[in-house]
Structure 1
Amino acid sequence: MNLPQKKNAQSTSRESVLPDDSIPTRRRISLAIAFPELPREFWSQVEKGIDAAILQYRDLGLTVRSVRSKDYDLTDQKQKMLELVDSGEYDAIAISPNDPQEMTDVIDYAVSRNLTVSTFNSDSPLSSRLFYIGCDYRVAGRLAADTLCRFVGRKGRVGLIMSYTNLQMQQKVTGFREVIGSYPDVELRAPLKLGPEEDTPFETFAEYFEGLDGLYVASAKLHLIASHLEAAGLAGRLALIGHDMNEDIHEGLKRDAITATICQDPFSQGYLIVKSLFEYLSSRKQPGPDEKRIKLELVTKENARYYV
Structure 2
Amino acid sequence: MANRSYLYSLSNRPTSYTDRPETISGVSEWNYDVPFMYRLLMSGDPQLCASLISDGLDDDEADEKVKLYAISSRFEPGFARVKRFIDIVRFLAAQAPVPEPAAPPAAPPAAPKALSLIERIKSRLSSSTASMAPPAIAAPAATTPATGSTQLPKWLDETLAFLEAHRDEHLLLETIELDTMSESEEAPLRACVEQELARCQQAGAALDALPQDTAAAAQLLREAGATKQAAPLDAFFGLRFDDDCDSTRSRATEYPLGLQWSEVLYFGLFNRAEFEAAQRGDAAAA
TM-score, length-normalised on structure 2?
A: 0.23
Relative contact order, higher structure (CA 8 A, sep 6+):
2
Larger radius of gyration: 2
Per the normalisation by structure 1, the TM-score is: 0.22
Q: Larger % of strand: which?
A: 1
